[in-house]
Structure 1
Amino acid sequence: MSGRHLSSEDRRELARLTKILSQKIVQVVVQSRLGEKALTKSKSPAQGSEW
């Protein structure tokens, strides 16, 4: 990423999305080891351009 800098808003958004992805990965690994699917609700509703 030479020559490119993230704005503070982009950095926060990237950190937030990285956290969500990390949590989902852990959830998938744990569920695969339990052998059963556990349903969890989303903590934050999608806003703006999110899906």
Structure 2
Amino acid sequence: MEQIRNDILIDAYLKAIELELDLEFLELLYQELQTRELEQFVSPPSKKTTKIS
């Protein structure tokens, strides 16, 4: 993931929330956002942001 630009990572995370993708995937993206200290630009993932299967 290091090769993904910060703005694209943020957009991918927001789109994943919009599409109600799997919580584990959202958490993976969010962890990368935290590593890059970008988490202040997005909300943390929660069960409310994903589809319940």
TM-score (norm 1): 0.37
Richer in helix (by share): 2
Larger Rg: 1
Which structure would you say has the larger RCO, counting Cα contacts within 8 Å and 6 or more residues apart? 2
TM-score (norm 2): 0.36
